[in-house]
Amino acid sequence: MKFAEFHTGQIIEAGPIGVSEAEIIDFARQFDPQWFHTDVVRARASRWGGVIASGWHTCALAMRLAVDGPLAGSESFGSPGLAYLRWFNPVRAGNQLRLRLQVIETRRSKSQPTLGILRWRWQMFKQTGEEVLDLEATSLFDLTGAVER
C-alpha cells in the first residue's frame, strides 16, 4: 500500500502466520535463552505448560505480517518507536497468528512535507481469538516524488 491509501479509522487484517517449536527454540537460543523459551522439559512442568515464544519473537512475527501485508510496496523507511507494547498471552508452537491493524492518524510533517507519519495500533490474535500482542507504532514514509498538490 502507498501512504496515501491509509486513512484514520481504517482496519487492515494480515496473516495468518504459523510458528513451530523448533522456530521458538531457535529464536530464543539466539536472543532470549531463558529456560521457558528453550527447555521443553522444564517448561512443560512449569506454569507455562510448554515452551513459549520470546516476546520479541512475537513482535518479529507481527512485523513479518505487516511487511508482507500493508507495508508491501509502500514508501516506508523506518520507525521512531512505540507508544506502548503489551504481551497479553504467550505464543506457542502451532499457533496461527493474525494481525489486525487500525490506523489512528496519518499526516505529513509540517516542517518536512515529504515525510509521511502513520500512527497505528497493532493487535495480534491466535486462531482461538486469544490476544497475544497490542502495541501502538509510528511508521515513517518517504514521500519524495509524491508531494501533495
Q: Where are the alpha helices (DSSP H) in the chain?
A: 21-31, 35-38, 40-44, 55-68
The binder of its own copies chosen from 7, 9, 22, 47 (CB under 8 A): 47
The binder of its own copies chosen from 24, 51, 61, 115 (CB under 8 A): 61
What radius of gyration do the chain's Cα atoms show?
Answer: 17
Contact stretch for its own copies (CB under 8 A) within 5-13, 42-50, 106-114, 120-128:
42-50
Contact stretch for its own copies (CB under 8 A) within 64-72, 93-101, 106-114, 124-132:
64-72
- The DSSP-derived string for 131-146 is EEEEEEEEEEEE-TT-
36 lines the binding site for its own copies (CB under 8 A): yes
> Which residues within the stretch 74-93 sit at the binding site for its own copies (CB under 8 A)?
76-88, 90
Helix, strand and coil percent figures for the chain, each rounded to 5 = 25, 40, 35
